[in-house]
């Protein structure tokens, strides 16, 4: 007889994850008012920002009023760094003695931003990750392998603690090299893993070529949580990872300044749930600033972490662009879904030959062509007044016989999906750079002449 599945076996927080949207809104509004008041009372930075906008915390009475609260951008946080109290500046809402965690942003552009957290904030970080890991099927029977060393970046610290919170057994594989990590996974029969898409693919390559291990056949990893890059939300990259490991691959989205605010569930609905319990996520029309509630219209993502207290994150402009999905998720969660996940930052989207393009669109095409390796590189240069775009790829040795048809397919798909023509260079297999953790495959050399 099939056992009845209780709600407690599906959701981390069965009550809140199935609340109707209007109840979630009430919960969010109550918490939003509280965090704005908290910041206004304790942070010089926020008080000044709100006073200049003519806003008092008491002015927020309805959900519509949320949009009246001024937004915060990363550059503003960068400006207050290293000022008093050192090194965080005057958005700090607790005495320095209460700060227990230091992290810094890992973005590839600009000076890093420092992020303080209290012990209570740290508990909140692991709670946010517990929602996401539980939604991805992590349970107390899992043995989770984390193939990274932890450092001043937040990545995987919270995943580690949340897995413990759920009751998983966690194996920190930080000091090992890639081959030793693979052997450890095999020896311990680990069932789950957290990694960047670049590393997930790189590990599978190393396993096959150096150790003769086929992860899908010889290892027991059956779920992989990705972070740090958009790959798990790019269908062709996700498929390559799932096939290489014989595992389900799930995406999540987060940022040091915000928290882990969105996740994919086991239903894999073609998008990410926003965590409506711990965050207030809104989409804003890029031109008019109007809040977008309806599906299918793209907007900038503005997020508030509703319970983070040391350095509050209120109406933070994430620079990500997204749209709401139309359909509810089969998993039964009422948390809204961002369709297709977050694959383009407004920072990353660039204009080439007059066409707007996100680098992830090129990745989607390259990874969808069977005879190509996982590696590629895009170079954008200027020839006179004209943009020139070169795509370097590698053809798999066993597919050399189909070279012409592979290149034609690639050219057609690129034209169709990105509306651009490319100089395609086929390089010998294994000659393009390999990346350990995060890849840098898109190089725009126009600004440097």
Q: Which parts of this chain interact with Zn ion (CB under 5 A)?
A: 265, 267, 329, 331, 333
CB nearer to Zn ion: pick between 181 and 248:
248
Separation of alpha carbons 193 and 367, rounded Å: 22
CB nearer to Zn ion: pick between 131 and 376:
131
Provide the edge-to-edge strand list for the sheet that holds 423-427. Answer: 423-427, 386-395, 372-383, 442-444
CB nearer to Zn ion: pick between 181 and 336:
336
Provide the edge-to-edge strand list for the sheet that holds 316-322. Answer: 291-292, 279-284, 299-305, 316-322
Least distance (Å) between residue 233 CB and Zn ion = 14
Least distance (Å) between residue 337 CB and Zn ion = 7
CA 92 vs. chain centroid, Å, equals 25
Residue matched to tokens 């590698």: 394
Least distance (Å) between residue 391 CB and Zn ion = 35
SS3 35: helix
Separation of alpha carbons 157 and 165, rounded Å: 13
SS3 255: strand
Separation of alpha carbons 272 and 34, rounded Å: 27
Q: Are 380 and 369 in contact (CB under 8 A)?
A: no
Least distance (Å) between residue 333 CB and Zn ion = 5
Separation of alpha carbons 254 and 89, rounded Å: 23
CB nearer to Zn ion: pick between 172 and 328:
328
Torsion sign (Cα): 38, 310, 165, 281: positive
CB nearer to Zn ion: pick between 333 and 392:
333
Q: Are 134 and 160 in contact (CB under 8 A)?
A: no
CB nearer to Zn ion: pick between 158 and 329:
329
State the number of CA atoms in the 13 A half-sphere of 30 facing the CB: 9
Least distance (Å) between residue 128 CB and Zn ion = 16
Least distance (Å) between residue 252 CB and Zn ion = 13
Least distance (Å) between residue 31 CB and Zn ion = 23
SS3 385: coil
CB nearer to Zn ion: pick between 162 and 410:
162
CB nearer to Zn ion: pick between 223 and 333:
333
Alpha carbon separation from 29 to 22, 47, 107, 204 (Å, rounded): 10, 20, 31, 45
CB nearer to Zn ion: pick between 45 and 134:
134
Least distance (Å) between residue 271 CB and Zn ion = 9
Residues paired with 145 in a beta bridge: 171, 193
State the number of CA atoms in the 13 A half-sphere of 24 facing the CB: 19
Separation of alpha carbons 366 and 156, rounded Å: 28
CB atoms within 10 A of CB 101: 15
Least distance (Å) between residue 197 CB and Zn ion = 21
Structure tokens that stand for 11 in this block: 């959701």
Least distance (Å) between residue 248 CB and Zn ion = 13
CB nearer to Zn ion: pick between 170 and 331:
331
Angle (CA) 7-130-107 rounded to 5° is: 145
């Amino acid at each position: 007889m099939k056992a009845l599945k209780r709600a407690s076996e599906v959701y981390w927080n069965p009550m809140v994850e199935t609340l109707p949207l209007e109840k979630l809104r009430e919960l969010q509004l109550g918490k939003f008012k509280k965090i704005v008041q908290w910041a206004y009372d304790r942070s010089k930075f926020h008080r000044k920002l709100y006073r200049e906008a003519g806003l008092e915390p008491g002015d927020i009475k309805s959900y519509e009023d949320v949009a009246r609260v001024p937004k915060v951008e990363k550059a503003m946080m960068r400006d207050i760094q290293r000022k008093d109290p050192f090194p965080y500046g005057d958005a700090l809402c607790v005495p320095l003695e209460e700060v227990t965690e230091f992290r810094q942003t890992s973005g590839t552009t600009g000076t890093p931003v420092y992020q303080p957290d209290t012990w209570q904030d740290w508990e909140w970080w692991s709670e946010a990750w517990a929602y996401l890991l539980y939604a991805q099927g992590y349970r107390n029977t899992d043995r989770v392998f984390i193939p990274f060393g932890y450092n001043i970046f937040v990545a995987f610290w919270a995943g580690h603690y949340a897995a413990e919170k759920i009751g998983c057994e966690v194996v920190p594989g930080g000091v090992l090299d890639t081959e030793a990590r693979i052997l450890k996974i095999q020896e311990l029969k680990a069932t789950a893993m957290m990694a960047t898409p670049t590393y997930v693919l790189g590990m599978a390559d190393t396993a096959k070529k150096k150790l003769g291990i086929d992860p899908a056949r010889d290892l027991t990893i059956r779920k992989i949580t990705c972070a740090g890059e958009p790959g798990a939300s790019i269908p062709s990259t996700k498929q390559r990872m799932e096939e290489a490991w014989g595992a389900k691959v799930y995406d999540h989205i987060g940022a040091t300044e915000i928290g882990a605010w969105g996740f994919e569930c086991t239903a894999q609905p073609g998008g990410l749930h926003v965590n409506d319990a711990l965050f207030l996520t809104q989409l804003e029309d890029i031109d008019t600033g109007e809040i977008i509630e309806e599906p299918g219209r793209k907007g900038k993502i503005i997020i508030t972490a509703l319970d983070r207290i040391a350095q509050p994150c209120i109406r933070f402009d994430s620079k990500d662009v997204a749209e709401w999905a139309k359909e509810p998720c089969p998993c039964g969660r009422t948390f809204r879904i961002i369709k297709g996940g977050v694959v383009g930052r407004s920072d990353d989207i660039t204009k080439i030959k007059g066409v707007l393009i996100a680098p992830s669109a090129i990745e989607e095409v390259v990874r969808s062509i069977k005879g190509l390796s996982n590696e590629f590189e895009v170079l954008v240069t200027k020839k006179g007044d004209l943009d020139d775009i070169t795509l370097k790829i590698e053809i798999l040795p066993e597919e050399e016989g189909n070279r012409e048809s592979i290149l034609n397919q690639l050219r057609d798909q690129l034209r169709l999906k990105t509306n651009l023509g490319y100089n395609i260079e086929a390089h010998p297999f294994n000659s393009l750079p390999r990346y350990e953790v995060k890849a840098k495959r898109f190089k725009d050399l126009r600004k440097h002449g």
